[in-house]
A and B are shown apart, each in its own frame.
Chain A
């Protein structure tokens, strides 16, 4: 973890729901896909945690959804705004478990960290399969970014307005060596249940500090209570205790 100042290089709406935020600064603390950053937004007390979508040595790309006052305010911040950021938070995905043909399944804003993961899996010689799920055609994001990596993502929409009609599990017809998923908990639970193999699941929860101090985001696991921010946000399928 590192506290540093990033400057907004791009803050563009991708559609009515999601935006892309590119931040220039020192990204050295980000070491693996699935980690997150915690942004201090002007006028808000608590930081806001966001998965890293992708990164280079000098910039971070985040894809975020405007869900409340903080993220709605974030949409209005202009290029050039300096932000206080905690970077390199959380454990990230375990790439060593991928195998030759891992399956990446994202839902909504949960597709974001899978892009950086996909890039690194492709670079490592794996052949990932990707399923991206959304409610409707207008909300589809990042599909072209996966194409740019040489991967043809399967897209599902709940209303059938684009790709396969239904949930991401409708697209889970391909055998795979391991899975990586991020999205709503109900979706991840269904993905984990349908997949015959093990996998990494990244949880999006309400956090306090983001670095393991406040115990605000604790989650029960088979290995006892874990902090999603510090011990996660990625947990392996076998560790998870589902709420209901």
Chain B
């Protein structure tokens, strides 16, 4: 394998760069711009049991060095994903994908994962217990160690694929949630989801987002995400996928040094559709500059 390769739950990735769920759709928009097979993998749009429109609009807002979204898991439902999106995706992406799963009950998480478990294209299940934009599900599972463990156990019982649990930063002690997921059998963790935030329109004196609150992402959250990746990767033995504001090859290396085994890129894709490709292409020169032979060698390198 090359200098950029890393391993995620036993599967080799050509490089650690993975578009984050919700910022890359099912890949086609980007596949019309460049060959997305250059990616390590990608995490497709969060999938629920039933189709969802998501929240009312407006559901996007600007922030300094970032953005807020309150999309609320718009997706066509797991059956349509399997029937329509995955076959189309197969034509443009020949590697295993990460299936991002969301739910409003433990039973829903279990059912969606059971259906996706049968898909050969799916290499990993990423269980999103951290969406801040839905009510009565999503993040409520990710802010309580007992519920987080319950979802993890339920999903692990119905799949042989590696399960990554995607964690919320909107908690007092992310390490406690991470440990609960590890103890319940999670094969890996991805963090962070977006940070709950809001904006107010000075002209109308009302919240910009119809949902009132949304999730902050982009470069603004990178140091926060890095700190949480550092804390969690020191506390658990399972691999951690680091995300939150990653926008450059330097950010990727910083995440790996903090303990991430791979990295997801989110908001940067929405500002620059070529972001992931450019980051991958920039990595070798940045590695040379900092005397890094292989990315695998530096994972957790800052832990001391």
Q: Footprint of B on A, CB under 8 Å?
A: 1, 3, 40, 44-47, 69-70, 84, 86, 205-209, 211-220, 225, 230
Contact = CB atoms under 8 A, between A and B. Distances in A.
Given A45-B67, A46-B62, A219 B57 contact: yes
Contacts of A225: 53, 74
Given A45-B271, A208-B67, 9 more contacts: A3-B273, A46-B60, A206-B61, A207-B60, A208-B270, A209-B270, A213-B30, A215-B71, A220-B53
Task: Give the interface centre of A47, A69, A212, A215 by most chain B CB atoms within 10 Å.
Answer: A215
Contacts of A220: 53
Given A3-B274, A45-B218, A213-B23, A205 B69 contact: no
Contact of B67 (A3, A46, A69, A213): A46
B24 interface: yes
Given A46-B67, A213-B30, A208 B60 contact: yes
A206 B53 contact: no
Contact of A86 (B24, B45, B58, B273): B273
B71 A214 contact: yes
B66 A212 contact: no
B99 to A, nearest CB: 17
B103 interface: no
A72 to B, nearest CB: 13
27 contacts: A1-B32, A40-B271, A40-B272, A45-B62, A45-B67, A45-B219, A46-B60, A46-B62, A46-B67, A70-B62, A84-B272, A206-B61, A207-B60, A208-B69, A209-B271, A209-B273, A212-B25, A213-B269, A214-B23, A214-B69, A214-B270, A215-B25, A215-B71, A216-B60, A216-B71, A217-B57, A225-B74
Contacts of B69: 208, 214, 216
A58 B272 CA distance: 23
Contacts of B67: 45-46, 208
Contacts of A217: 57, 60
B157 interface: no
Nearest to B268: A45
| Shortest beta-carbon contacts, A-B, top 6 | A216-B60, A209-B270, A208-B60, A206-B58, A212-B29, A215-B74
A212 B22 CA distance: 11
Contact of A205 (B58, B62, B63, B65): B58
Contact of A44 (B29, B62, B270): B62
Task: Give the interface centre of A40, A219, A225 by most chain B CB atoms within 10 Å.
Answer: A225
A217 B54 CA distance: 11
Interface string B67-85: 1010100100000000000
Contact of B22 (A45, A47, A214, A219): A214
B194 to A, nearest CB: 12
Nearest to B65: A45
A1 B33 contact: yes
A49 B67 CA distance: 15
Contacts of B179: none
Interface of B: 22-25, 29-30, 32-33, 45, 53-54, 57-67, 69, 71, 74, 218-219, 267, 269-274
Contact of B66 (A45, A86, A205, A219): A45
Contacts of A208: 60, 67, 69, 270
Contacts of A45: 62-67, 218-219, 267, 271
A46 B74 contact: no
B269 A209 contact: yes
Nearest to B208: A206
A90 to B, nearest CB: 13
Contacts of A206: 57-58, 60-61
B24 A213 contact: yes
B208 to A, nearest CB: 8
A60 B284 CA distance: 38
Given A45-B66, A45-B67, A211-B29, A218 B60 contact: no
Contacts of A1: 32-33, 273
Contacts of B269: 209, 213
A1 B69 CA distance: 23
A218 B76 CA distance: 13
A86 B267 CA distance: 16
Contacts of B61: 206
A45 B32 CA distance: 23
B273 A213 contact: yes
Contacts of A216: 57, 59-60, 69, 71
B174 to A, nearest CB: 25
Contact of B53 (A209, A218, A230): A218
Contact of B273 (A205, A211, A230): A211
B66 A230 contact: no
